[in-house]
């Protein structure tokens, strides 16, 4: 391949890209190629405008913002739920825009897990998921008087990168009541087969839910169609809603009407919320799982961002571009980095790949620091992974070509050797 071929082909791809105009809606760090959108997505103009609007409403309306703002703050969580619903293939009543990822898992466990069920008191998780999920599972079991050493099973990974279907299914035994798995593994970027796992779990009488922090906004879901029992996610990665923005959860309609495990006044029927009745009167659907006052300042940018995503064509459009970007990155990695000791840890097939790529290298920490100094923002996951996350809304194919070419130069000149190598530090 000639030296200028990749740039030409990247330029052609960028010209043909229907999502290209949306890049102008984002605040891009000056002079840098931002490939960390799976950790913290960038601010967009609509998200900023929505946030500033709420600040202005607070300044001018005070308490009257709850009912008198346009739109009324009272309605923001429900509006966000309606806007999230198409991204996960759900009825809006099955979504609540609330809490954070971990808090939402706690709420779903508290609502769905029945510790007294004879013979089925095991929870299943996995060894690759973000540790907060395992902490939640362990502490939840303890809250219910069960010993995690006995009642929590974490599915192992044979290579420390991906989960195998047969290993997952082997964990779905008769004593399991509920399983929690990542839709996309946060390290390797492996996409699990949500539909098959849900079917297999149900065949064995197991409830199943998914952590979608790394999939929502990168991969379309069809939770209602697939019969998934529950899901939960953050909105600060591919959904670009801002650091600590309101999270989301999904509760399948077959579980609506269950008493919320963690009850609070915002989960009460809207017409009875201010009645302060001694008994909790749950709202319809997943809204019953709200606990306290919605974080209006954290919902506003989410709403602005979701409007942008809908206007850009929604989950299917994002997925098409995302796959094209990671296909392109893979081709550049193969063409330029073949001799430098990198291994791609992300599965190649479209059906098994989320929105980011993970490159393994023994010097990953130092290489990440060198990349950042060279104007590329990657993400390091210890001990040896470089994650490259092109956002379908603001990353160009030319950025991907440029990033890999800068990485090749770093490897050729061994620039990374000048950097410290503490593997635990995120550069």
Ligand X SMILES: Cc1ncc(COP(=O)(O)O)c(C=O)c1O
Binding site for ligand X (CB under 6 A): 100-102, 130, 132-133, 182, 186, 211, 213-214, 234, 247
- Is 211 an annotated catalytic residue? yes
Catalytic residue among 53, 130, 193, 340: 130
Per DSSP, the three-state class of 333 is: helix
Pick the closer one to ligand X by CB: 212 or 324: 212
Known catalytic membership, residue 387: yes
Structure tokens at 188: 């390797």
Cα–chain center distance at 405: 28
Q: Sheet holding 176-182: strands in order across?
A: 95-97, 248-251, 230-233, 207-211, 176-182, 122-126, 152-155
- CB-based burial of residue 187 (10 Å sphere; 0-12 exposed, 13-18 middle, 19+ buried)? buried
Q: Which CB sits closer to ligand X, 75 or 143?
A: 143
| Least distance (Å) between residue 129 CB and ligand X | 6
372 in active site: no
Residue among 211, 226, 363, 384 flagged as catalytic: 211
Of the candidates 309, 312, 180, 292, which has an alpha carbon nearest to the alpha carbon of residue 246? 292
CB of 401 to ligand X, least distance (A): 28
Work out how close the CB of 175 gets to ligand X at its nearest, in angstroms, rounded to a whole number.
25
In 3-state terms, what secondary structure has residue 114?
Answer: coil
Q: Which of 263, 307, 308 is nearest to 287 (CA)?
A: 263
Please provide residue 358's backbone torsions phi and psi, each rounded to the nearest 5 degrees: -120, 125
Nearest approach in angstroms of CB 184 to ligand X is: 8
CB of 247 closer than 8 Å to CB of 101: yes
Please say which residue, 98 or 101, places its beta carbon nearer to ligand X: 101
Among residues 237, 319, 396, 408, the one annotated as catalytic is 237
Q: Which of 236, 328, 394, 397 is catalytic?
A: 236
CB atoms within 10 A of CB 173: 13
Q: At what angle do helices 296-311 and 45-61 cross, to 10 degrees?
A: 140
Cβ closer to ligand X: 25 or 133? 133
CB of 100 to ligand X, least distance (A): 4
Alpha-carbon torsion, ordered 260, 262, 263, 268, to 10 deg: -50
Nearer to ligand X, 141 or 184 (CB): 184
CB of 212 to ligand X, least distance (A): 8
Task: State which residue, 356 or 366, has the beta carbon closest to ligand X.
Answer: 356
Is 376 in contact with 32 (CB distance < 8 Å)? yes
Query: DSSP letter string over 179-230?
Result: EEEESB-TTT-BBP-HHHHHHHHHHTT-EEEEE-TTTTTTS---HHHHT--E
Q: Given the residues 332, 387, 396, 408, select the one marked as catalytic.
A: 387
Residue at token pair 């008994």: 279
Nearer to ligand X, 172 or 236 (CB): 236
Check if the beta carbon of residue 81 is closer than 8 Å to that of residue 97: yes
Spatial contact of 83 and 306, defined as CB atoms under 8 Å apart: yes
Take residue 109 and report the two structure tokens written for it: 């466990």
Looking at beta carbons only, is 213 or 240 nearer to ligand X? 213
- d(CA 206, CA 388) in angstroms, rounded, equals 35
With beta carbons less than 8 A apart as the criterion, state whether 111 and 103 touch: no
CB of 213 to ligand X, least distance (A): 4
Work out how close the CB of 427 gets to ligand X at its nearest, in angstroms, rounded to a whole number: 17
Q: Does the annotation count 130 as an active-site position?
A: yes
Helix, coil or strand: residue 322: helix
Residues acting as catalytic residues: 130, 211, 236-237, 387
């Amino acid at each position: 391949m000639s030296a200028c071929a990749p740039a030409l082909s990247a330029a052609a791809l960028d010209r043909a890209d229907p999502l290209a105009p949306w890049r102008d809606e984002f605040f891009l760090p000056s002079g840098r190629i931002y490939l960390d959108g799976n950790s913290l997505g960038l601010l967009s103009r609509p998200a900023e405008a929505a946030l500033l609007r709420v600040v202005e409403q607070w300044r001018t309306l005070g308490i009257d913002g709850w009912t008198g703002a346009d739109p009324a703050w009272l309605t923001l969580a429900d509006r966000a739920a309606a806007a999230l619903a198409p991204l996960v293939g759900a009825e809006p009543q099955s979504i609540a825009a609330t809490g954070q990822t971990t808090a939402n898992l706690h709420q779903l466990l508290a609502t769905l897990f029945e510790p007294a069920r004879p013979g089925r008191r095991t929870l299943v998780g996995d060894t690759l998921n973000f540790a907060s999920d395992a902490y939640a599972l362990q502490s939840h079991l303890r809250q219910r008087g069960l010993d995690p050493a006995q009642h929590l099973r974490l599915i192992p990974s044979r290579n420390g990168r991906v989960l195998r279907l047969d290993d997952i299914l082997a964990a779905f035994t008769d004593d399991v009541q509920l399983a929690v798995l990542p839709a996309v593994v946060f390290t390797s970027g492996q996409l699990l087969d949500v539909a098959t796992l849900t079917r297999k779990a149900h065949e064995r009488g197991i409830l199943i839910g998914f952590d979608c922090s790394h999939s929502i906004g990168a991969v379309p879901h069809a939770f209602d169609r697939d019969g998934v029992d529950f899901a939960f996610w953050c909105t600060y990665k591919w959904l670009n809603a801002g650091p600590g923005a309101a999270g989301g959860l999904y509760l399948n309609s077959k579980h609506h009407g269950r008493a919320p495990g963690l009850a609070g006044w915002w989960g009460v029927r809207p017409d009875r919320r201010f009645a302060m009745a001694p008994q909790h009167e749950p709202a319809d659907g997943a809204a019953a799982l709200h606990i306290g006052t919605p974080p209006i300042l954290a919902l506003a940018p989410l709403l602005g961002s979701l409007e942008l995503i809908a206007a850009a064509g929604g989950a299917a459009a994002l997925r098409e571009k995302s796959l094209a970007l990671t296909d392109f990155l893979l081709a550049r990695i193969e063409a330029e980095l073949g001799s430098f000791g990198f291994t791609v840890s992300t599965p190649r097939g479209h059906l098994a790949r989320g929105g980011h790529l993970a490159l393994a290298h023994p010097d990953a920490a130092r290489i990440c620091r060198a990349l950042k100094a060279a104007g590329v923002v990657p993400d390091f996951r210890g001990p040896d992974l470089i994650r490259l996350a092109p956002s379908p809304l603001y990353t160009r194919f030319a950025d991907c070509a440029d990033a890999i070419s800068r990485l090749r130069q770093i490897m050729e000149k061994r620039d990374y050797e000048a950097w410290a190598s503490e593997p635990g530090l995120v550069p």
